[in-house]
Structure 1
Amino acid sequence: MRGLRGMNNIQKAKLLFDLFPEETIAFISFAAEVADKIKKERDTLRTAGGDSILFPAGFWVDLAEDLSKRIRSGDGKLQKSSTVFSEQLFDGDRAFLSKHCLLQYSSGDKLKNTAFRQGVELFFLLGRQPA
Structure 2
Amino acid sequence: MKALPELTNTMKGRLLFELFPDEMPALLDHLAAVCADFRTNHEEYKKNWRDGFMSFDYWFSLSEECAALLKKHGHTMRKNSKVFSDQLFYGYTALFVNDRIVKYAAHSASKKFKQAVELLYT
Normalising by structure 1, report the TM-score: 0.88
- Structure 2, unaligned runs of 5 or more: none
Does the alignment pair 1:102 with 2:107? no
Q: What is the correspondence of 1:1-131 to structure 2 with a 5 Å cutoff?
A: 1-46=1-46, 48-50=47-49, 52-74=51-73, 76-108=75-107, 111-125=108-122
Query: CA separation in 1, counterparts of 2:97 and 2:55?
Result: 17
Deviation at 1:54, TM superposition (A): 1.1
Where 1:76 maps in the other structure, the secondary structure is helix
Query: CA separation in 1, counterparts of 2:50 and 2:68?
Result: 23
Query: CA separation in 2, counterparts of 1:63 and 1:41?
Result: 15
- Structure 1, unaligned runs of 5 or more: 126-131
Q: Higher helix share goes to which structure?
A: 2
Query: CA separation in 2, counterparts of 1:51 and 1:61?
Result: 14
Query: CA separation in 2, counterparts of 1:122 and 1:52?
Result: 24
Alignment length, in residue pairs? 122
Letter in 2 for 1:17: F
Deviation at 1:51, TM superposition (A): 5.1
Letter in 2 for 1:76: H
CA shift digits 1:99-131 (9 cap, x unpaired):
1110111001xx211111111011111xxxxxx
Query: CA separation in 2, counterparts of 1:45 and 1:75?
Result: 25
RMSD: 1.2
**Is contact 2:77-2:84 (8 Å) kept?**
yes
CA shift digits 1:30-73 (9 cap, x unpaired):
01111111111212233x14252111110111111111111112
Normalising by structure 2, report the TM-score: 0.94
**Is contact 1:45-1:51 (8 Å) kept?**
no
